Amino acid sequence: MRSGFVAVAGRPNVGKSTLVNALCGGKVAIVSDKPQTTRRRIFAIANGEDYQLVLADLPGFQRPRDALTEHMQRTVDAAVQEVDAVLLVLDARQRIGAGDRFVAQRVFALGVPVVIALNKVDRLRAGQIAEQMQRAAELGDFHALHPVSAKTTDGVAELRRELVDLLPDGPAYFERELRTDLPLEAQVAELVREKALHLTREELPHAITVEVEELGEGVVRATLYVETESQKQIVVGRGGSIVREIGTRARPEIEALLGRHVFLDLRVKVKAKWRRDEALLERLGI
Ligand SMILES: Nc1nc2c(ncn2[C@@H]2O[C@H](COP(=O)(O)OP(=O)(O)OP(=O)(O)O)[C@@H](O)[C@H]2O)c(=O)[nH]1
Ligand SMILES: [Mg+2]
């Protein structure tokens, strides 16, 4: 039996969480087209006949701007220590540049094998992929480089095999039924936040956090916190239309996760400067 931990590093929005979900064959981490979607470390567990691969999905590497992003970067710095390998994810549709080099410098200094995933190669021409692979190869002394599409899952099985082959002999760290180490409340809160991210724009996604207050047999109660009254009005929407739509989109996924029908009760509240509230950040696992 092989088992171990692989940290998933990269700039924000390159598709780390989408790739983590593809690698473990189910949705564990939420995904959006807004940067800084992932705020905390999430273990996603891929089990095979003869292996347990634990992927640490992480926030994107970034220069901290406030207490929230500072906590997020600290999470990243801590999580890349003591892993068996790092999966460095790049976006093939963007210029591989300074941001990627910044991440690369840090991960290649860790002294563990680095596997590069050149993600989002779907709809790219072979020539473009080859060019981007060449640029990716200049980032450091990598162990392997895989062009993949997390979206279509092209190349994902090969990448998984590559990562498993890097794991040492070891025990299963998690029960085989477990997909993630996130408590159920946090998984539910994340699903609500994902739908809120999809329905908001600009600065607002960053100003939203979600806490689940009650996870009952038939009812789930959660609060969406924003920082200002005007943000609250946007998230509530005219006549409650936006928050209702968030609920409509989140409920089926929550029900699938819990394996039962629930009434989803969502509220929107203002909590000024929650991004600086150390106690709340801790409660949110950030
Ligand atoms: N076309 C295409 N889009 C992708 C692929 N993988 C991810 N995406 C899209 O890229 C965007 C970002 O995906 P995420 O998985 O949230 O990215 P992330 O790196 O986890 O982002 P942060 O958590 O914010 O750092 C989403 O809109 C995804 O649908 C892919 O293989 N192909
Ligand atoms: Mg993510």
252 confidence band (pLDDT: 50, 70, 90): very high
Per-residue pLDDT, averaged over 191-210, amounts to 97
pLDDT score, position 223: 98
pLDDT score, position 15: 98
In whole angstroms, give the CA distance from residue 80 to residue 138: 21
pLDDT score, position 16: 98
The amino acid present at 254, given as its one-letter code, is I
CB–CB of 36/30 below 8 Å? no
The 10s digit of each residue's pLDDT in 97-109 is 999 999 999 999 9
With a 6 Å cutoff on the Cβ, whether 36 touches ligand 1 is yes
Residue with tokens 């409340």: 185
pLDDT score, position 205: 96
With a 6 Å cutoff on the Cβ, whether 151 touches ligand 1 is yes
254 confidence band (pLDDT: 50, 70, 90): very high
The 10s digit of each residue's pLDDT in 33-77 is 999 999 999 999 999 999 999 999 999 999 999 999 999 999 999
pLDDT score, position 130: 98
166 confidence band (pLDDT: 50, 70, 90): very high
pLDDT score, position 153: 98
pLDDT score, position 202: 94
CB–CB of 91/13 below 8 Å? yes
Q: Pick the residue whose CA is nearest to atom 11 on ligand 1.
A: 33
pLDDT score, position 28: 97
In whole angstroms, give the CA distance from residue 173 to residue 170: 9
DSSP per-residue codes, 122-137: TT--HHHHHHHHHHHH
CA dihedral of residues 135, 137, 139, 143 (deg, nearest 10): 160
Find residue 46's DSSP bridge partners: 53
279: exposed, middle or buried (Cβ count in 10 Å: 0-12, 13-18, 19+) = exposed
Cα 168 to ligand 1 centroid, rounded to whole Å: 29
Of 18, 76, 197, best ligand 1 pocket probe by most atoms within 8 Å of the beta carbon: 18
Contacts of 152 (CB under 8 A, 6+ apart): 122
Kindly report whether the global pTM for this prediction surpasses the value 0.75. Answer: yes
Cα 30 to ligand 2 centroid, rounded to whole Å: 7
Q: How far is CA 33 from CA 13, 201, 222, in A?
A: 7, 10, 23
pLDDT score, position 277: 93
